[in-house]
């Protein structure tokens, strides 16, 4: 379903709601046992609500609801354990320090344990129910050839709750009454038109839409399910007529206000880390603490980006731009740590405060690479319709890009963000960036 212009799986929303209730109930029961309140159960609301909310927030941030976590038990267990411990511990600390209730130190341990047990039980039961065919989204695909094959391939991706129950050639779907009859016989909830260039069976599709069946073309269906655009079949009208909430005036002002408030607060909060990182760089190798590079920003304008130096000063002695490779020998010892923890990116907070960047957006590239990509990748410059960001949709969905193939893949995600960005999507990306920092897959 669409939420503020971004597609969110209904099954994930239902699962999240069930698990939120389970977490709250589990923590409230614990509170009645270990928290002493003179007001009785009514006085335990604060002690139970805050740890529960923080636990759910950490579950979202650490990717407990991502497809890989929902499909893989070890991945889910690892992320859920950290989320429960972090949420319960932080919640316990705040309640203990700021509340008037007497809270036992065992409260945090009990909250984490019971939250983990409650979510695991709910996840096990819900997953078994969801995998049953009656609970899958039943889809009828109209079309022939590779377009149908590509649509079916999307539904086999990890975490997809859609199931193709039938395929119908366009010529047959165009016959009077046949499409609605076939859709009703299959109990289809959605119809995907795979061959967009072929003449549409207008009458049949309108009959199905009137009957409450949702109609998608293959590009919309693919974007909703994968979170990236079909680069090979993209065309300008997809950008022009997209209903992007982020392009409204109030949304842009809200995004800028969030950038200012968060970046100013972050500079104050992270100042000890920034100072220690700078000292470590100076002690580890010769050269300056910071370095700057020219990057391409909003609407193709150039600006200077600031980062902690993580490479030797002669990394590009010949003056040519070079991608960082795996186990790159140019990276210093402290530089490896700074890159793995993303600390090397923190000076860009100053760029955000100045308005040259945003917290969330496509990662800025150097002009040399932008010129190459613009010639080789279609619609590459469309990613400059929004401000570049410290983190982005591509960063939380794809590994570090160090080749043209990686850049093509990341462009799919960047263009999805450009078409669908909003304050709501920015908040989701910021939360999920925590997972990228804790599990830095593909960092170079």
Q: By residue range, what is the domain housing residue 29?
A: 2-131
HEC readout, 332-384:
CHHHHHHHHHCHHHCCHHHHHHHCCCEEECCCCCCHHHHHHHHHHCCCHHHHH
Residues 48 and 98 in one domain: yes
378 CA to centre of own chain: 24
Residues 89 and 167 in one domain: no
Residues 80 and 199 in one domain: no
Residues 124 and 144 in one domain: no
Residues 75 and 184 in one domain: no
Residues 37 and 170 in one domain: no
Report residue 223 as tokens.
């974007």
The whole model's pTM is what?
A: 0.81
Contact 238, 219 (CB under 8 A): yes
User: Is residue 340, in this structure, part of any structural domain at all?
Assistant: yes
Is the pLDDT confidence value at 59 over 70? yes
**pLDDT for the residue 322:** 61
Is the pLDDT confidence value at 167 over 80? yes
Residues 423 and 278 in one domain: yes
Is the pLDDT confidence value at 444 over 50? no
**pLDDT for the residue 251:** 86
Residues 105 and 180 in one domain: no
User: Is residue 444, in this structure, part of any structural domain at all?
Assistant: no
Is the pLDDT confidence value at 265 over 90? yes
Report residue 268 as tokens.
């104050």
Most confident region among 107-116, 244-253, 254-263, 314-323 by mean pLDDT: 254-263
Q: What's the CATH code of the domain at 158?
A: 3.40.50.10700
CA–CA separation, 306 and 286 (whole Å): 18
User: Is residue 358, in this structure, part of any structural domain at all?
Assistant: yes
403 CA to centre of own chain: 22
Residues 297 and 408 in one domain: yes
Single out the residue in 78, 98, 131 at which a domain terminates.
131
Residues 295 and 424 in one domain: yes
For tokens 């809200």, name the residue. Answer: 254
- Over range 300-327, report the average pLDDT: 75
Residues 280 and 406 in one domain: yes
- Over range 23-47, report the average pLDDT: 75
pLDDT in tens, 118-158: 888 888 887 777 665 556 788 999 998 888 898 888 888 75
Contact 390, 345 (CB under 8 A): yes
Cβ neighbourhood burial of 65 (10 Å; 0-12, 13-18, 19+): buried
Per-residue pLDDT band at 49 (split at 50, 70, 90)? confident
User: Is residue 8, in this structure, part of any structural domain at all?
Assistant: yes
**pLDDT for the residue 206:** 93
362 CA to centre of own chain: 13
User: Is residue 111, in this structure, part of any structural domain at all?
Assistant: yes
Helix axes 423-438, 249-269, angle to 10 degrees: 30
Residues 339 and 213 in one domain: no
- Over range 19-37, report the average pLDDT: 83
* Beta strand spans in 8-87 (E): 35-36
């Amino acid at each position: 379903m669409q939420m503020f212009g971004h597609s969110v799986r209904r099954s994930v929303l239902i699962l999240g709601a069930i698990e939120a209730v389970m977490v709250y109930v589990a923590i409230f029961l614990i509170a009645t046992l270990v928290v002493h309140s003179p007001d009785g159960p009514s006085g335990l609301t604060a002690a139970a609500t805050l740890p529960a909310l923080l636990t759910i927030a950490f579950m979202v941030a650490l990717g407990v609801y991502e497809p890989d976590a929902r499909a893989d038990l070890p991945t889910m267990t690892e992320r859920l354990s950290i989320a429960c411990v972090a949420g319960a511990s932080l919640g316990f600390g705040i309640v203990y320090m700021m509340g008037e209730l007497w809270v036992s130190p065992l409260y945090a341990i009990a909250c984490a344990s019971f939250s983990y047990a409650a979510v695991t039980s709910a996840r096990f039961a819900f997953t078994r129910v969801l995998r049953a065919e009656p609970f899958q989204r039943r889809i009828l695909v109209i079309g022939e050839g590779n377009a149908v094959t590509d649509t079916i391939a999307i539904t086999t991706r990890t975490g997809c709750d859609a199931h193709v129950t039938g395929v119908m050639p366009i010529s047959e779907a165009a016959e009077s009454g046949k499409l609605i009859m076939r859709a009703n016989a299959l109990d289809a909830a959605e119809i995907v038109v795979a061959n967009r260039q072929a003449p549409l069976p207008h009458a049949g599709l309108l009959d199905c839409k009137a009957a409450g069946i949702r109609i998608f073309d293959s590009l919309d269906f693919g974007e909703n399910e994968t979170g990236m655009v079909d680069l090979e079949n993209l065309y300008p009208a997809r950008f022009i007529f997209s209903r992007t909430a982020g392009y409204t005036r109030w949304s842009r002002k809200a995004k800028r206000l969030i950038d200012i408030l968060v970046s100013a607060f972050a500079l104050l909060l992270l100042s000890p880390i920034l100072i220690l990182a700078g000292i470590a760089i100076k002690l580890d190798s010769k050269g300056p603490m910071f370095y700057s590079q020219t990057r391409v920003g909003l609407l193709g304008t150039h600006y200077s980006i600031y980062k902690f130096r993580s490479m030797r000063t002669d990394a590009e002695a010949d003056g040519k731009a070079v991608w960082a490779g795996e186990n790159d020998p140019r990276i210093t010892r402290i530089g490896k740590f700074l890159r793995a923890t993303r600390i090397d990116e923190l000076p860009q907070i100053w760029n955000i405060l100045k308005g040259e960047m945003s917290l969330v957006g496509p990662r800025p590239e150097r002009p040399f690479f932008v010129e190459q990509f613009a010639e080789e990748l279609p619609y590459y410059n469309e990613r400059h319709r929004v401000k570049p960001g410290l983190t982005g949709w591509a960063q939380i969905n794809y590994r570090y890009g160090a080749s043209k193939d990686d850049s093509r893949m990341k462009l799919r995600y960047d263009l999805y963000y450009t078409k669908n960005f909003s304050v709501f999507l920015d908040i989701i990306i910021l939360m999920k960036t925590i997972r990228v920092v804790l599990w830095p897959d593909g960092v170079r």
